[in-house]
Chain A
Amino acid sequence: MLKVENLTKKYGEKHAVEHLSFSVSTGEVFGLLGRNGAGKTTTIKMMLGLVTPDEGSVMWKSQKGLKGASFGYLPEERGLYPKAKVADQLSYFARLEGMEKSIIKRSVDYWLDRFDIAMYRNKMAGDLSKGNQQKVQLAATLLHNPDLIILDEPFSGLDPVNTNLLTQVILEEKQKGKVIIMSSHQMEQVEKFCKEVVLMKDGQALLAGDLETIKNSYGLMYLSLYGDVDKLISFCQEQEYPFEQEEKRIIVPLKSDQEPLTVLTQLKNENIEVSEVTYLQPTLHQIFVEKVGS
């Protein structure tokens, strides 16, 4: 289990991170969210011991700091030796992690295959595309089978196919019981994995805790109506309901718990047929934009 308590870092008068606390259990993915400059990377660097915190502590398996821990770190700014062969540098990273020679080859082969980049094993890393370099970097993060995985923007630079591939890999690692911390701007991905999140702004935690609880406690709900779009639009305009159109759906934001019943009654009175009605929670994306948008 990873426990971060009261982590604080100031640069001059500006707080990069202010009294941040959270914990992540084994087999869980934790989402570190926020706009650029919110303090996510500083938090990660403090956890790794790359930046010394002014206050607070990081505990891993009841020990202070990550010294001696087996962890894999994917930094936000990708870094590989551009003039070294892919397989050579993966083997080098593995040796530095203390892996046995006999296991290294097997592990390198496995991850090159898993990320579908085995054909580039003897290529210079600098000659690969950005996406493939990203996959090499991910392989370097995972090849020593770390207990703690820290991924800073793991999906940036990946095409949809590779995004799906990485999604599968993260889910597999989660099932293996790893502790995973992920910072991302892609909220759809975060929603897929993360049980708990912290939403940061200017170094502070605006929202923190269980994602479902956050969503449930978030006031704004939505009603999704599927039917004759033209009639539904006319209805909303007449009744002065704000709405958004998503293909054949009309999404109506709700002001109170009573409002869905009112809307449905009005629709019945107007003889407007609706084939599907869904009561929607706000998406993480909507919460993110609402909370840190301006």
Chain B
Amino acid sequence: MNALWTAYLFHIKEQIRTKGFRITSIVISILILGYFAYNHFSSNEEKVLVTVINTSKYYSLDDKLLKENIEGLQLHSEQIKNEEKEQQKIKDQDLDHLIVIKEQDSVPVVNYYYHRSPDPTVMFAFTTQLQQQYLSKVSTEHALSQEVVTELFQNIPVEETMLAENNGSLGIVYVFIFLMYTFIIMFGQGVAMSITGEKSTRVMEVMITKIKPIYMLFAKILSSLTAGLIQVSVFLLSGYLAYLIGWINKDLFSIFGFGLDLSQVNAGLIIGFIFFFACGYLVYALCFAALGSVISRTEDLGSVMGPVMVLVVGALMVGIKTMMDPTGGLVTFSTYFPFFSPIVAYSKFVMGEISTLELLISGAVLIISIGLLAYAASRIYVKGVMVYGEKFKWSQLTAMLKK
């Protein structure tokens, strides 16, 4: 175990010392700070450019009320003859929205032009005003009493109650999936590259006489995990720095549109996060380590790692599907499939869509799978590191497992 610890410390030091590690840490931290700074400083200045062409006789807009309802609204009125010109402005992205108000049998008709996606806030603000004016006009024409009009305008009260247990917001799921994916891509693959590098530089021949291969295997996997966690901590610290500076409004905090309610983070969520994150990393790192050991040149890594990369992308896709449909058939199967279950089971746990029994079974399957993978990977690794020069065939893996 002393040799494992020595190898672990050496590899972790070597990884942290590399220029790539330091540059990535600095650049991504700057990007995180930049992202929050941009959101902070640009949120008050974002303009919504709207041109209105109103050809109706009865309907007019209250500019003041519109500006109250649409943040950053800059309203511009145009004549009907310039409609095409205004549409071109939208295509050229010089204008955000064009609202054309016409009348048909005294009923207001609105044509709404936008570049690629409609803005419900803009649409709602305009149609609400027109709707009220139309109701007012109709009630006057039919000589309705003020009481009737008031009742007609009465809003229907809606009281929302979520019945599913929810352990946290989707933002936490999103952070988990994103971290898991990037971690496997960056550090899981790093394990394979490091092992193949040791073979191609022939340092493996020296090492194999000094330390048990199984210790080398786990020293590499665990040092990559630690280096990765250090890097993630640096990113979190830069996020915390942004929070301290005041660039993050914790009430409106979101990651790419997914709300992240930090007040919902509790011990269960943190323990689950650590457990499924570590298990997910181990599953893939063991596969990468085994495959990295059977080839002799780093150039061959791409072709060998292809099938595992398909699983990584599959896990990401199923993770996204879980956020939308946590009870679907594929998601249910994936809850117990060890290559997908870390992301799926944790996501379902956060969303309150998994029972305690299901969670325990998923965790148990995952732990047993890691044990089997560790056994297989160590067998392949011990044999694989001494194989040089031969072109890799998948059948070799079976032979190495059997020997």
Q: Which residues of A contact B (CB under 8 A)?
A: 48, 50-51, 71, 73, 75, 77-84, 88, 92-93, 95-98, 137, 140
B6 touching A92 by the CB < 8 A rule? yes
Q: In the complex, A173→B296 CA distance in Å?
A: 34
Q: In the complex, A213→B162 CA distance in Å?
A: 96
B206 touching A93 by the CB < 8 A rule? yes
Interface of A is mostly: loop
From residue A167, how far is it (CB to closest CB) to chain B in Å?
23
- B6 contact set on A, CB distance < 8 A: 92, 95-96
A140 touching B206 by the CB < 8 A rule? yes
Interface flags for B191-234 (1: CB within 8 Å of A; 0: not) read: 00000001001111111111100000000000000000000000
B210 touching A93 by the CB < 8 A rule? yes
Q: In the complex where A83-B14, A92-B10 touch, is A50 in contact with B203 (Cβ < 8 A)?
A: no
**B7 on the interface (CB 8 Å rule)?**
yes
Interface residues of B toward A: which range?
20 to 34
From residue B138, how far is it (CB to closest CB) to chain A in Å?
79
B10 touching A50 by the CB < 8 A rule? no
- A98 contact set on B, CB distance < 8 A: 2
From residue B203, how far is it (CB to closest CB) to chain A in Å?
4
Q: In the complex, A98→B10 CA distance in Å?
A: 15
A79 touching B203 by the CB < 8 A rule? yes
Which of B13, B201, B204 has the most C-beta atoms of chain A within 10 angstroms of its own C-beta?
B201
Lowest 10 A-B CB distances belong to which pairs? Answer: A79-B202, A79-B203, A77-B202, A75-B205, A96-B210, A92-B10, A95-B6, A73-B209, A79-B206, A96-B211
A79 touching B205 by the CB < 8 A rule? yes
Q: Which of A73, A83, A92, A95 contacts B18 (CB 8 A)?
A: A83
- A81 contact set on B, CB distance < 8 A: 14, 198, 201, 203
Which of B10, B13, B203 has the most C-beta atoms of chain A within 10 angstroms of its own C-beta?
B203
A84 touching B205 by the CB < 8 A rule? no
**B28 on the interface (CB 8 Å rule)?**
no
B203 touching A80 by the CB < 8 A rule? yes
- Closest B residue to A45 by CB, please name it: B386
A80 touching B201 by the CB < 8 A rule? yes
- B205 contact set on A, CB distance < 8 A: 50, 75, 77, 79
- B179 contact set on A, CB distance < 8 A: none
Q: In the complex, A96→B386 CA distance in Å?
A: 20
B201 touching A96 by the CB < 8 A rule? no
Q: In the complex, A75→B210 CA distance in Å?
A: 13
Interface flags for B1-45 (1: CB within 8 Å of A; 0: not) read: 011001100100110001000000000000000000000000000
Q: In the complex, A80→B197 CA distance in Å?
A: 11
Q: In the complex, A96→B11 CA distance in Å?
A: 13
Q: In the complex, A80→B14 CA distance in Å?
A: 13
Which residues 309-341 of B sit at the A interface, judged by CB distance below 8 A? none
Q: In the complex, A88→B18 CA distance in Å?
A: 14
Q: In the complex, A65→B224 CA distance in Å?
A: 34
A50 touching B209 by the CB < 8 A rule? yes
- Closest B residue to A89 by CB, please name it: B10
- B18 contact set on A, CB distance < 8 A: 83
- A71 contact set on B, CB distance < 8 A: 209
- Closest B residue to A48 by CB, please name it: B209
A75 touching B386 by the CB < 8 A rule? no
25 contacts between A and B (CB under 8 A): A50-B205, A50-B386, A75-B205, A75-B206, A78-B202, A79-B198, A79-B202, A79-B203, A79-B204, A79-B205, A79-B207, A80-B201, A81-B198, A81-B201, A83-B14, A83-B18, A88-B13, A92-B6, A92-B10, A93-B206, A95-B6, A96-B6, A97-B210, A137-B206, A140-B206
- B7 contact set on A, CB distance < 8 A: 96
Q: In the complex, A137→B2 CA distance in Å?
A: 23
Q: In the complex, A92→B386 CA distance in Å?
A: 22
- Closest B residue to A71 by CB, please name it: B209
- B208 contact set on A, CB distance < 8 A: 50
- A77 contact set on B, CB distance < 8 A: 202, 205
Q: In the complex, A31→B198 CA distance in Å?
A: 29
Q: In the complex, A102→B342 CA distance in Å?
A: 45
From residue A213, how far is it (CB to closest CB) to chain B in Å?
33
- Closest A residue to B211 by CB, please name it: A96
From residue B291, how far is it (CB to closest CB) to chain A in Å?
21
Q: In the complex, A14→B217 CA distance in Å?
A: 32
A73 touching B386 by the CB < 8 A rule? no
- B198 contact set on A, CB distance < 8 A: 79, 81
From residue B296, how far is it (CB to closest CB) to chain A in Å?
11
- Closest A residue to B203 by CB, please name it: A79
From residue A75, how far is it (CB to closest CB) to chain B in Å?
4
- Closest A residue to B386 by CB, please name it: A50
From residue B131, how far is it (CB to closest CB) to chain A in Å?
69
Q: In the complex, A140→B205 CA distance in Å?
A: 13
Q: In the complex, A93→B6 CA distance in Å?
A: 9
From residue B214, how far is it (CB to closest CB) to chain A in Å?
14
- Closest A residue to B6 by CB, please name it: A95
From residue B346, how far is it (CB to closest CB) to chain A in Å?
35
Q: In the complex, A80→B7 CA distance in Å?
A: 15
B14 touching A75 by the CB < 8 A rule? no
A51 touching B14 by the CB < 8 A rule? no
From residue A138, how far is it (CB to closest CB) to chain B in Å?
12
Q: In the complex, A77→B207 CA distance in Å?
A: 13
Q: In the complex, A73→B10 CA distance in Å?
A: 21
- A97 contact set on B, CB distance < 8 A: 210
Q: In the complex, A199→B365 CA distance in Å?
A: 57
